[in-house]
Amino acid sequence: MVRYVAITHCSGDYVGIWLVATKPNSRPFKVAMGSDPSWSPDGKYLAFTRIQGGNLSQPEWTHDVCIFDLTTNHMRVLRKQAREPFWSPKGTKIALIDESSNSIRRDFHCPILILDAQSGKVIFQTGLIRNPIEPILAPNERYLAIHPHLSRPLSGHIIIDLKTGKIIEIEPNEGYARGPLQAWSKDGKWLLWKWRVPDPENDGAWLWEEIWLVSLDAKVKRRIGRGTKAVFSPDGKHVLWLQPRKAIYDYKSNDYDLMWTPLQGRLSERLIARVQDFTLVGWKR
């Protein structure tokens, strides 16, 4: 079996989706101009946002959500005028942001669609949401998290109960502002949030960011530590995240330590010093 890693590579004004086989001396090959890669759980398909335009024949940029089949090397369009696909953990559904001409409004109000991953049939559609980004489906596929992105005030994900239609807004503790949802545990009971300490002298900015472990009912809120890029380990027993090495937040700094902490316990340990980013592709304790 050949395993692949999807890479988003920027070159000037262009962004491309590339695949690299995880074997020695492998050369990457370009799938398409695009961004937002999302793997199917079985690793056989790659959903992404294809980007077209920005040239003399097509001045305006357009987005389509496509699926690339690694077995056949065939690409198909799942939804035209859409972006940011998120493959459900069960692999049967894809959430995305619809930008079609009959749905988009002023100030980037768009609905979120949930499609059948094979047929592309719309299963669920939200109302118009202002400037939505980063759709995330819960492991049990009952909840949809979406981030109505605003620069002021600081904003974060809201959660929609797809069964009842109700909106769940998990508020941070006093002194913190909302931030993006980082990860959802496999059992659906725990969420990793990145909450921010606002800068009182600069509206829309923050002094630093912190990772918080929060139960779905928001009755339990545990501070993990300063940092970003938080994920659950595949066995669901640990949290890994990037902790900045500088005590004072620096927008330009990308110098972090890779940290981990058990869900049952308070001791945090440094795994690797001085890293910029990480992705879990395997796990063995």
Q: What does each of the 285 residues of the chain score in pLDDT, given as a tens digit? A: 556 666 666 655 456 777 666 666 667 767 788 888 888 998 889 899 998 875 555 557 789 999 999 888 899 999 999 999 999 989 999 999 999 865 555 557 899 999 999 999 999 999 888 889 999 999 999 999 999 987 777 889 999 999 998 999 899 999 999 999 999 998 889 999 999 999 888 888 888 899 999 999 999 999 999 999 999 988 888 999 999 887 665 555 568 888 889 988 778 888 888 877 666 655 555
Is the separation of the CB atoms in 258 and 278 below 8 Å? yes
Distance of CA 208 to the CA centre of its chain: 20
Amino acid at 146: I
Encoded tokens for 23: 């074997």
Check residue 144 and give its pLDDT.
Answer: 96
Neighbours of 254 (CB within 10 A): 12
Cis peptide upstream of residue 153 (ω within 30 degrees of 0)? yes
Check residue 245 and give its pLDDT.
Answer: 84
Check residue 263 and give its pLDDT.
Answer: 86
Q: Which of 223, 231, 209 is nearest to 266 (CA)?
A: 223
If you ran DSSP here, which 8-state letter would residue 28 be given? Answer: P
Check residue 85 and give its pLDDT.
Answer: 95
Is the separation of the CB atoms in 185 and 222 below 8 Å? no
Record the pTM: 0.83
Q: How far is residue 7 from each of residues 46, 93, 236, 280, measured CA to CA in Å? A: 11, 23, 26, 14
Check residue 274 and give its pLDDT.
Answer: 82
Neighbours of 214 (CB within 10 A): 19
Is the separation of the CB atoms in 210 and 225 below 8 Å? yes
Neighbours of 18 (CB within 10 A): 18
Is the separation of the CB atoms in 162 and 124 below 8 Å? yes
Check residue 236 and give its pLDDT.
Answer: 85
Check residue 54 and give its pLDDT.
Answer: 59
Check residue 285 and give its pLDDT.
Answer: 52
Neighbours of 139 (CB within 10 A): 15
Check residue 64 and give its pLDDT.
Answer: 93
Cα separation, 146 vs 133, whole angstroms: 6
Is the separation of the CB atoms in 152 and 129 below 8 Å? no
If you ran DSSP here, which 8-state letter would residue 263 be given? Answer: S
